[in-house]
Amino acid sequence: MTNSDSGLVTQLANLGKARDYYNAGKLLATQTDEAICKLVEDDLSATAAANTGSNTLTMLIFKSGSTLFERGNGALGDRILGIACGTCVCQICEESGSADEPEGQRWAGISDKLLEVLPLLQPRSVIDIAFRILAELKTSGSLPSAFGNYLPMLLDTLGVIGNVEITAEDLGGLEHGGSVTRTGAELKAYWIDSACSYKWHGQAAARISAGLRETALSTSQIEIVGRRILRQLNAVSELNELPAMVYQLLLLSRHGSKQEIVSGIFSFFENLEQTNGTQALWDIEGTVMLHIGYSIKQDFELGQALETYAREQGDDLTAFSFACLLSLARIHRFSDAVMDILRKLLVSSEHDADVRAATVWARPYLAKASLDVRQLLKSVAERASFGWEQVTQALVQLCLNTIDYTVARRISYSAAACAQTQILCTDTLQTAYAMHSFVRAEIIDQIMNRVVFQTDAHMHFIGLLQRLVADDIDAVRAHTSRIVDVLESMAVMAPATVSRLLQAAAPLFLDDPQFRASLILVLRKALFARGTDERRAALDGLFALITSTVQVSAAGTFDSQHLAVLLEVLGLLRRSLTQQPEIRTVAYQRLAVLLDQPFALACPPLLNALYGVLAPEFAKFYQHDHSADSPINIQQCINPATSRVTMPIAGFLLCYAKLVTALTDSTSIVSASDSSSSGSAYKSAADSWEDLCTRFARAQIEDYELDPEGEYSLDSPVGVRNNSTARLVIGCVDAAIEYALGRGMDGAMNPAQSIELFSMFSRFSEILCARFVDDKRRRVIGSVCELSQISMRTALRVLAVVLPDRQRLNSPGHPLNCNTDSHNTFVAQTGRAELWAANTQFVRHVFEVALTHVSASRTEALDVETHLVLLLAYIAYSGVLVRCANAEQDPIPANLIARGMRSRSLVMVAAEALAACASVLTARNAVGILPVAVMRPSPAMFASNGPTSPPSLSDSVECMVALVAKVRNAVEQLLSLKPVLLREATSLLGALHSLATYLAHVCFHNPSQHTAAYASLNELARWAYAMIDGEIPGDPPLLKGLVALTICCQPFLQSQPMFASSSIDLSNLGANEEPLAVHQDMDEHELGPMNRLVATTCIASRLLTNDAAGSDDEDNMNDEDEPNLNLYTLRTIPALVTLAVTWLKGELQQMDWVIGQLRKCASAELRLRPDHDDEDLHVSIRLERRLCMRLYALTPILMHMLSTQFAGTLSDQSIRIFTDLHRTFALLTRTKLQASELPITESYIECLSQICTTLNQRAFSLVTEKYGRFMADANESKSEKPAKKKQSQLPRSSGGVAKTKMLSRNSVLVSSLIYQMELSEKYVAKALGYNKP
């Protein structure tokens, strides 16, 4: 520093001390620009060297310039301030670019001064400073931290400057050329565009983004800045820098471009997860979610943008975007809408997977599904432990709500899709409960709320509770008080609910003494409550606890504590047996079910305790004196005043029979361990039972003062008494049958006694069924089976020996014959049961009882265990159906096809039993076990705990193919004996349809296993249609079964199997890879049978209506021979037309779904297509061509359906299905309009010509002929209306009412058709107009 400079500094310092800033400014004004600049530079350098941060001289210069400005010397002040600001900015830029950039408050004072004097600067100074900073950004890619608050105000000031003439030098050397005139707004736009085009240093990117974001930006500038920040995300080298950058984007979105910013953020993280899916990334994503949630709370429009993104993306959501939506759902304003979106996403994904699998004709042309909801939910649940904790509660709420909605079927998707979604959500809840302790209380509370309020899904949630207890009992123990609180309200809950809830909580009952004491107290209070419903619920709870305790005994861990618990609960049960008759009825029913379980029969403490309860009760009603008319005092069980039953003796005897059988069985644990006194008591009880059976077998109806021709209705006192007495006697005899069958199987009783008891049961039951009628003389009791109490286990034991498997009987090495002794035992039991087998009525009764049990279990899956269902299916096949299939070698036994009055043959019952078993196992997702259990039986399959492990898919398919072949052979043999066994063949077709449905499911979802199943179903479809085309009777049920089977197997008639063809991966579609080619005749083989069937039906209808000539079109439709009018009758044609219409609706619904996939495929191809590339959308075009060809292939069938020879109601169906066809075609055309890149193909033109010309003309002819009278009536002149009004005041005849209804129906049909045709034409006109060359 020179002497003159030192003197100047001294003078300025003295003026500063005197606060004479005006004179200081005057002094500075006399200096040159270089001198002032040097003063500032030296001061800044000296301050940096001393590390004091005071910058005294620089601050004095700023104050001096401001004072000159305030005193009216604006020009001088601006010069000084401009030089000082420019110098400071240059110095900051130079030091920030060096390696030793100062930290902390180095430039804090200077930055504040720059902000303070900014409004005082002249436009030229503002421009110079702005572009000096831009030059630094270009050079270093960084923005000094001192400019963080300064830059936004600087750019805003720049934007309001007027016209300025500038040169390249004014722009900091950024451009070359002459001078031009620009406005401040243009310069600001240029500055922002240039800044966004430069490379940003990673550590400074957030600072630059913040500076640009805080600037007042136009809409286009917001888009530019937003895109630049999104690009910068890909350049971030450290994951920790991402949250700050994303937060700047979210703040920027407040000013606009929300949708683009949201989409860009999600796309970035989607790509990042594919390359760096680590725990560190999950933590960063969790921080970003917090930023997103906070930003949405500050700006609700951002939440709406996120919601819109979710709706647009549909099934393209990633785990991160899905989690962000869950975070959005935590905000009350968006909760309902977001939950609705995610619910539909989960269900629609499962639904689309099912439809995709079943739509075989389009599968090779569809793009691969982009969303796997199972993996999605699993990922979110797992990552909740690594930074995503805030979404866990929303995830739990989503799963709970989805289960509610799918169980109640509030979402219009298939039942299978809803069931799969329920399983998925349940698994997710189970995972969340195991991983996150902070949601456990909420999950338990939600389960209990649904249980106490009896929602549609409450049983499903009880199943979830059972799984939670089984997984980790300690995790549930802390919430047992909530379960007790719910059980306090058992009066408002169904008994089945209480039973299931206590079964779920049973391990807690045995493990937690405090919970056990509270629960027993609750049950005791409920058992003696005033309300009957509450007592029934308490009984169900008691038996659930008894069952759980006894199962511990079967497991071998029964100790004194468990014995004390069992005796305490049995004590409560003993007290319940003294209550009202309806309570005792429930108690005996539950006790009979308990005594049917093998684990209960293996628990001596239970059996001994029950004997002590039931034996004294038996002694009250058993009459030892043989001079009495009945061994049981029936009149003692009836109230003499009201003739109502006061003692449910039938249920009691059934329980006592099972108990005595268990106690006196030679293999019983109790018999082997009891003392001589107990054994003699049990022997005495068995003798009493044998005496009871003998006396009941000899009893007559007159012994009970009953008249076969008497009154049994409930309208009179006599009828009530007769009805009560008959029911009691029937129940007692049925209990005796149960005992006699059990003892007869072991050889302890004469089998003839069982037949005698059954004859007695049949006589009494037939009288009661025939005489017990309602006020319209209709039977109240439809079948004798409704009165039977024979258990499922007893029925199956009997059926196994009266309908034996001949291979097992003749081969000691059969899998079910574990050893020689078991084979000998089975042979001996079969020999003893010959008398039973000879009585066809008895065998049919037992078979129907077993079928009734299985049919009832369709609604309550826990009624019949799976192994019993499998055993019934095995008996039905091996004992009956296989005899029918092998009828060529060995004729069908007469007892299998014999029918009694108002009854079915054993073949019919067996066929219905096989179909019912398949239906029940399908509902339990276990139908794959059935063919293996039937074709390869083993003891493990029918064990009480069920199959230890499910069979492999290949074994299941192999056995199912063999089973289908056998059942089909059986149908052929039965039809060969037509018309005698027509009903049997029809019933067996129903079972065949159930089996074929499983094979079709395997082909759809497991293409690798398709070969054998495909061949089997292809052959089955051809066989079914050949049967229709052959000589069979015109029986509507038989025809329905054959057509339904043809429709089920229809996809397997494709000219080339497509089940192994996978969908197209658009992202990996190379330039030389192309999807499967589309051929014109691809649908000919598949749709040919249905086409010929509908055409033949149309011809038959014309012949039956005596219209031999018919229309020219109808004559040209078929060159076939005249149909068999014994098959196509006035009874069968309506059924066939209805089936064809139903099938066509299913086909059109599949097409509607594929059209939706076409829209998604076209959008995806457009996104993946490179910019400025106008190449055709090859995948979408082929899919659209396949759609058009499929639609074109259906038009001949619609041509037949639009026959004028059908009756009125059949014509209505034709018009409706043609309206649906137009609706599908309009949807296809509208999709082409939305995706303008899809060209008008030749296939579309052919389809258009066929539908909108040929079929429309045919439809107009049908409407004119069938509904012309309607149109004339609808266009009555106004002059006739007053007369009509007067007539309408008179009573109308039934014919007038029918005519009015017909006119109303026709009006809807015709108007809907015309509207849909006009809509299709409107879309077609737009499509052709948009695609003109």
pLDDT < 50 stretches in the chain: 97-104, 174, 666-667, 671-673, 861-862, 1060, 1070-1073, 1108-1110, 1112-1119, 1270-1303, 1331-1333
Ordered alpha helix ranges (H), 1050-1131: 1084-1104, 1112-1117
The whole-number pLDDT of residue 656 equals: 92
Start-to-end Cα distance in the chain: 81
E strand intervals along 574-629: none
R_g of the chain computed on alpha carbons? 43
Residues whose CB falls within 8 Å of the CB of residue 1121, separated by 6 or more in sequence, listed in order: none
Q: What are phi and psi of 622, to 5 degrees?
A: -80, 130
- Distance CA(800)–CA(779), nearest Å, equals 33
The whole-number pLDDT of residue 655 equals: 92
The whole-number pLDDT of residue 176 equals: 52
pTM for this entry? 0.81
- Distance CA(425)–CA(407), nearest Å, equals 12
- Contact 436/473 with Cβ under 8 angstroms? no
Of 329, 491, 341, 310, nearest to 405 (Cα)?
341
- Contact 243/280 with Cβ under 8 angstroms? no
DSSP code string of 1042-1066? HHHHHHHHGGGG-SS--TTPPPB-G
Residues whose CB falls within 8 Å of the CB of residue 433, separated by 6 or more in sequence, listed in order: 439, 440, 443, 468, 471, 475
What letters, b where the CB count within 10 A reaches 16 and e where it falls short, cover 352-366? Answer: bbbbbbbbbbbbbbb
- Distance CA(401)–CA(422), nearest Å, equals 10
Residues whose CB falls within 8 Å of the CB of residue 672, separated by 6 or more in sequence, listed in order: none
Residues whose CB falls within 8 Å of the CB of residue 1313, separated by 6 or more in sequence, listed in order: 1215, 1218, 1219, 1222, 1259, 1263
- Specify the 3-state DSSP secondary structure of 823: helix
Backbone angle region of 945, left / alpha / beta, with phi > 0 → left and psi within -120 to 50 → alpha: alpha
Helix (H) or strand (E) holding 1191: helix 1178-1201
Q: How many CA atoms lie within 13 A of 294 on its CB side?
A: 12
DSSP code string of 261-327? HHHHHHHHHHHHHHH--SHHHHHHHHHHHHHHHHHHHH-HHHHHHHHHHHHHHGGG--HHHHHHHHH
- Distance CA(722)–CA(725), nearest Å, equals 5
Q: Which two tokens stand for residue 1104?
A: 């039956």
Of 383, 376, 175, nearest to 277 (Cα)?
383
653 to 591, 662, 670, 748: CA distances (angstroms)? 11, 14, 20, 19
Q: Which residues pair with 1064 in a beta bridge?
A: 367
Task: Determine the Cα angle at 201 with ends 199 and 202, to 5°.
Answer: 120
Q: What are phi and psi of 773, to 5 degrees?
A: -125, 160
Q: How many CA atoms lie within 13 A of 153 on its CB side?
A: 16
Helix (H) or strand (E) holding 182: strand 180-182
Residues whose CB falls within 8 Å of the CB of residue 399, separated by 6 or more in sequence, listed in order: 377, 425, 426, 428, 429, 432
- Distance CA(24)–CA(967), nearest Å, equals 113
Q: Which residues pair with 645 in a beta bridge?
A: 638
The whole-number pLDDT of residue 946 equals: 63
- Distance CA(591)–CA(789), nearest Å, equals 13
Residues whose CB falls within 8 Å of the CB of residue 32, separated by 6 or more in sequence, listed in order: none
The whole-number pLDDT of residue 1112 equals: 46
Task: Determine the Cα angle at 1034 with ends 1029 and 1037, to 5°.
Answer: 100
- Contact 654/789 with Cβ under 8 angstroms? yes
Total residues found in the chain within this entry: 1333
DSSP code string of 186-251? HHHHHHHHHHHHSPPPGGGHHHHHHHHHTS---HHHHHHHHHHHHHHHHH--SGGGHHHHHHHHHH
The whole-number pLDDT of residue 1109 equals: 46
Backbone angle region of 902, left / alpha / beta, with phi > 0 → left and psi within -120 to 50 → alpha: left
- Distance CA(80)–CA(69), nearest Å, equals 10
Q: Which residues pair with 773 in a beta bridge?
A: 779
Residues whose CB falls within 8 Å of the CB of residue 1056, separated by 6 or more in sequence, listed in order: 1082
Residue with tokens 């009694």: 900
Residues whose CB falls within 8 Å of the CB of residue 1288, separated by 6 or more in sequence, listed in order: none
